[in-house]
Amino acid sequence: MNILFFGPNGSGKGTQGALLKEQYRIPHIETGVIFRENISKGTELGKQAKASIDRGELVPDEITIPMVLDRLKGSDCENGWLLDGFPRNITQAIKLNEVLTGEGIDVHVLVEVMLDREIAKKRIMGRRLCVNDNNHPNNVNIDAIKPDGDRCRICGGELRKRDDDQDEEAIDQRHDIYYDAEQGTLAAVQYFKELSGKTGRPAIVEVGGKGSVEEVTAELIGKLSNVRLRVLK
Ligand code: AMP
């Protein structure tokens, strides 16, 4: 199953994506993670992306689009993928659809996690990254996933903050891009929703992001199970 996964920064998308990856045994492709890995390894791609990321701006499309299209050619993507953090603007959406259509590949489902902007912001400022595993959720502002002191609640690993998570201006900038329904991420969502209206694909799954991790997961998996058989026909 090929899934596009949308939601504002801080909506819990990364956490839910990690669970879906296990559930459907498909790679969870997160553009933000790919960039951060490249930055920490000091690659050329990382160097090109760092300044934009620090400001909360999008990395230029000339860098991002080929990087994602190349990743989707990976042999692990043959049985499906979960794309998280891409497309993030209308240009990326149009290009992605053009390339996938050209290759006869369908987007089966579009998932949209809905969350109030202020709640999302508070969550962003509280989140911590485990150095051992990016998918170990820790957040000092969410009781259910509070770190164990200053260590990861799952493995006891060291926790770090993302630089762009502590800068309010950068957070606001990221949310401005997400909620921009003209050119930004909501425009990309709308583009695929219109496609869905015309062709029946992708199926649209909307979930509320306010509840606990378990509540959101239950809603998400329930709704995905309902559409799964239909879209895979
Ligand atoms: P995230 O981890 O999804 O919050 O992404 C972190 C940062 O990576 C974003 O604020 C952007 O600077 C960059 N980024 C992630 N995905 C994209 C994308 N699709 N297009 C351009 N920049 C991106």
Q: What is the pLDDT of residues 174-223, one digit of tens each?
A: 999 999 999 999 999 999 999 999 999 999 999 999 998 889 999 999 99
Is 71 among the domain residues? yes
Give yes or no for a contact between 5 and 111, defined as CB atoms under 8 angstroms apart.
Answer: yes
Is 10 among the domain residues? yes
pLDDT of residue 135: 83
Is 100 among the domain residues? yes
Average pLDDT, the chain: 93
How many whole angstroms from its chain centre is CA 212?
A: 18
Angle between helices 13-24 and 213-232 (to 10 degrees): 50
pLDDT of residue 158: 97
pLDDT of residue 146: 94
From 35, 129, 166, give the residue whose CB has the most ligand 1 atoms within 8 Å, as the site to mutate: 35
Give me the CATH number covering residue 111.
3.40.50.300
User: Which atom number of ligand 1 is nearest to the Cα of residue 170?
Assistant: 10
Edge-to-edge strands of the sheet including 127-130? 138-139, 127-130, 159-160
pLDDT of residue 162: 85
Parallel, antiparallel or unpaired: strands 81-84 and 138-139: unpaired
pLDDT of residue 228: 83
How many angstroms separate the alpha carbon of residue 111 from the centre of ligand 1?
18
Q: How many residues belong to the chain? A: 233
pLDDT of residue 174: 92
Model pTM? 0.89
pLDDT of residue 232: 77
Is 146 among the domain residues? no
Q: What is the CA radius of gyration of the chain?
A: 17
> Based on the structure, what is the number of domains in the chain?
1
Q: How far apart are CA 227 and CA 170, in angstroms?
A: 36
Query: Which parts of the chain have pLDDT scores under 50?
Result: none
Is 86 among the domain residues? yes
How many angstroms separate the alpha carbon of residue 59 from the centre of ligand 1?
7
Is 192 among the domain residues? no
The boundaries of the domain holding residue 35 are: 2-115+204-231
pLDDT of residue 163: 83
pLDDT of residue 144: 84
- Name every protein residue with a CB atom under 6 angstroms from any ligand 1 atom: 9, 31-32, 35, 52-53, 56-59, 64, 85-86, 88, 92, 174
Is 110 among the domain residues? yes
Is 85 among the domain residues? yes
Tokens of 98: 């053009």
